[in-house]
């Protein structure tokens, strides 16, 4: 892990991002369940996620209404959706790639992003899990836009912009959860 930082366990890095030492909770048993606020849209994740990624870009802040977006990368075939009509909002990211954002049509909860460039991947909003307490980012991107009190686990990948690849983000998750 080349960017793993030595002692002290809390120190400033890019854009105010600090590193904190922690013992990560184990991955929950599968399937993991989740859903929207009103309960109309429900889902189950039937295979290990590929990543827990935090994005600190301004778009994710707006979409989340909070300091960053927190996402599970999930293979599309591992996401079983039940019930509930969904609305789709289509947007073009900073990379120029289009994504579809799906929300519950009844309550507006943002459920997941579907990137055109990765049709087998679901970028699932981690706060919709029935239990998201374990979901501590294994990677952080766009950290130069992170809030002044933002913190990353010391074993997490942290990069400015998207100066990495999806493969590297997934590899870090695999290294952390062997």
- What residue ranges bind Zn ion (CB under 5 A)? 36, 38, 40, 55, 57, 60, 104, 106-107
Instruction: Please state the φ and ψ torsions of residue 32, each to the nearest 5 degrees.
Output: -90, 140
Based on CB atoms, which residue is closest to Zn ion, 4 or 91? 91
Which of 47/107 has CB closer to Zn ion? 107
> Which one, 110 or 172, has the nearer CB to Zn ion?
110
Cβ closest to Zn ion, residue 52 vs residue 104: 104
The nearest distance, CB 86 to Zn ion, in angstroms, is 9
The distance of closest approach from Cβ of residue 7 to Zn ion in the complex, given in angstroms and rounded to an integer, is 31
φ and ψ at 89, to 5 degrees? -115, 125
What would the DSSP string read from start to end of 89-145?
EEEE-TTS-EEEEEEETTT--EEEEEETT-TTEEEEEGGGBS--TT---SEEE-GGG
Smallest distance, Zn ion to C-beta of residue 117, A: 15
Min dist CB 39 to Zn ion, Å, is: 6
């Amino acid at each position: 892990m080349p960017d793993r930082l030595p002692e002290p366990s809390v120190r400033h890095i890019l854009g105010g991002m600090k590193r904190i030492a922690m013992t990560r909770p184990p991955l929950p048993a599968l399937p993991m369940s989740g859903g929207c606020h009103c309960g109309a849209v429900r889902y189950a994740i039937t295979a290990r996620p590929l990543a827990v990624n935090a994005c600190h870009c301004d778009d994710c802040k707006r979409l989340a209404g909070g300091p960053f977006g927190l996402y599970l990368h999930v293979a599309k075939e591992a996401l079983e959706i039940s019930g509930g009509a969904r609305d789709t909002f289509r947007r073009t990211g900073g990379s120029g790639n289009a994504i579809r954002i799906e929300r519950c049509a009844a309550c507006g909860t943002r459920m997941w992003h579907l990137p055109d460039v990765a049709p087998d991947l679901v970028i699932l909003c981690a706060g919709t899990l029935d239990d998201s307490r374990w979901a501590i980012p294994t990677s952080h991107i766009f950290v130069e836009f992170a809030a002044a009190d933002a913190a990353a686990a010391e074993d997490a990948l942290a990069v400015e912009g998207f100066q990495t690849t999806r493969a590297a983000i997934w590899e870090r998750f695999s290294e952390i959860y062997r």
